[in-house]
Structure 1
Amino acid sequence: MKFSFVQQLSVCCFLLDFHYSKAQSIEHNGWLFWSHEQKISERWQFSYDMQLRSADRFDYANTLLIRPGIGYKIRENQTVTLGYTYFGTWEKENDKLEYEPENRIFEQFEIRNKLKNVQITNRLRFEQRFMHMQQEKIFAQRLRYYIQALIPVLANPDFTNGMYVCIQNELFLNVQGNKQSGRQIFDQNRPYAGTGYRFNEKLDLEAGFMLRYIIQEDKNVRNNIFQLSIKSSF
């Protein structure tokens, strides 16, 4: 099913307005993000994401994410990807850092469309999560839906160079293992808005602000996140 740009942008704006009524814990974090796509052939590509996150109030670096994957273009604008994610966290407990590793396998389907020069991405990702929480091994599965619009504002006509605005959101749905991990079925929402500069077709630099909501049993956590992103493709 195809959606018009207006429909997709309306969904994105609706999700940006998502909020909760529970008591909230508010944190301030910084994320440094690099994503890369490497063309292997006309159909095959290699993708790689790396992310470094800070603890509350930029106290220390507490999360490292590394996510490689192999993608296959089933159509010019549609790609399926199989990949692996390493997700390591370090939390301070009594002035000591406690390490909790997580390994994931993911399957992903992505559609990229254009309306004039506006670039729209829809992505569905299914994850199998192998977690270590408080010395306990937990298996869970999660579904993630992501929508993004890149809107050129001071760019050349074909949007290969210039400034742009980015609006996006991602929703998280736990479909297995949520009780063991202490999570709700729907537990996370990530609205984001930012601005970036496209140097050429192969390199973007972007900065923005994300409101990450995490639903917990007793309270909700709201992360005010400043994110700096580098996006490359060759």
Structure 2
Amino acid sequence: MRWFFNAYVSGFTGTKTLLSLLFFYSTVLCAQTDNTFTAWSAVFASYKLNDKLSIHFDGQLRSADEIEHLLSFIIRPGLNYHASKNTILTIGYAYIENRRVIEMVSDMIPEHRIWEQFIYNQRFKDTYFTSLQHRLRLEERFIGKSYPENGSLINDGSEFSLRLRYFLRAILPLVKTDDFTNGAFASLQNELFVNLDNAPTLTNGGFFDQNRAYVSLGWRFNPKFDLEAGYMYQYINGRNVNVDNNIIQLAAYLRL
């Protein structure tokens, strides 16, 4: 009798687990996914004030699907503190406008961010990697709310969200050198985004937000200026629809 009871419980538990897995995978497979093709451009700059302080700035433009029109732009200044040769602490502000469509009405909606980050640069000798950058960024996001009225979207306050990002980037000179000051290079990078606190209606309600994987080719003109072009694959875990975004990107890097 005990054997029958144990077998029954074991079978029920296994069946329940199997049904749970089938339900999970069917949910993932049935989730709607949009495929898009966009273009991004970016300028990343730093200006050294002294041995310990520098100014960070980046500005970006991002297109909508099929590069039809502007989808968003970003202006992001910050103040860097160089704690050591390979460690940088930053605090900054970002202003973003994103195009949003509500009830067939389209307009640019603002978002304000306060952000803090930690950067650690691993440097290598006698390898094809000149450096490996680790970046951890925390964002306090104030995402604009809006509603349609008379053919336009009216701002209606904001919702708060807290997001964490981990970024990893490697530079590979195409000619091996101990001191890479100019020439062709390739770059590999990945960035993972997770929500620590979701906005009530304007984020996806889950922990995983998105991931961006990127590969590029570039040219270092001198120690202060790089230009690169590449392909990025962005996967967005949306509230209702997931997005596979294929991106071509042109980026400039200035170190002044």
Superposition TM-score tier, normalisation by shorter sequence: 0.7 to 0.9
**Does 2:114 match 1:102?**
no
For 1:59, give the aligned amino acid: E
Query: Aligned match of 1:166 in 174, 184, 187?
Result: 187
Alpha-carbon RMSD across the aligned residues, in angstroms, is: 1.8
Aligned partner of 2:58 in structure 1 is 49
Mapped partners of 1:182, 1:148: distance in 2 = 26
Q: 1:169 Cα deviation (Å)? A: 0.4
Greater CA drift, 143-152 or 97-106? 97-106
Deviations 1:81-135 (A, max 9, x none): 0000001012456775312100000000001111125211000000100111333
Gaps of 5+ in 2: 1-27, 147-155
Report the secondary structure of 2:201's partner residue. Answer: helix
**Does 2:77 match 1:59?**
no
Aligned partner of 1:129 in structure 2 is 141
Query: Aligned match of 1:119 in 110, 131, 134?
Result: 131
Query: Aligned match of 1:180 in 169, 194, 201?
Result: 201
Report the secondary structure of 1:41's partner residue. Answer: coil
Greater CA drift, 171-180 or 78-87? 171-180
Structure 1 moving runs of 4+ over 6 Å: none
Counterparts in 2 of 1:121 and 1:155: CA distance versus 1, 3 Å: same
Q: Is the CA contact (8 Å cut-off) linking 1:155 and 1:161 kept in structure 2?
A: no
Mapped partners of 1:191, 1:171: distance in 2 = 9
For 2:197, give the aligned amino acid: Q
Report the secondary structure of 1:180's partner residue. Answer: coil
Higher helix share: 2
Q: 1:154 Cα deviation (Å)? A: 3.2
Mapped partners of 1:195, 1:98: distance in 2 = 35
Report the secondary structure of 2:66's partner residue. Answer: helix
Deviations 1:25-46 (A, max 9, x none): 0111000100001000000000
Aligned partner of 2:90 in structure 1 is 81
Aligned partner of 1:216 in structure 2 is 238
Using the size of structure 1 for normalisation, the TM-score is 0.86
Query: Aligned match of 2:162 in 137, 141, 156?
Result: 141
Deviations 1:165-206 (A, max 9, x none): 100000001101244323121110000001100001000000
Q: 1:156 Cα deviation (Å)? A: 5.1
Higher strand share: 1
Aligned partner of 1:13 in structure 2 is none
Mapped partners of 1:182, 1:38: distance in 2 = 34
Aligned partner of 1:11 in structure 2 is none
**Higher RCO (C-alpha 8 Å, min separation 6):** 1
Mapped partners of 1:225, 1:136: distance in 2 = 31
Gaps of 5+ in 1: 1-19
Report the secondary structure of 1:154's partner residue. Answer: coil
Counterparts in 2 of 1:60 and 1:93: CA distance versus 1, 3 Å: farther
For 2:194, give the aligned amino acid: L
**Does 2:250 match 1:228?**
yes
Deviations 1:151-174 (A, max 9, x none): 101365411001111000000011
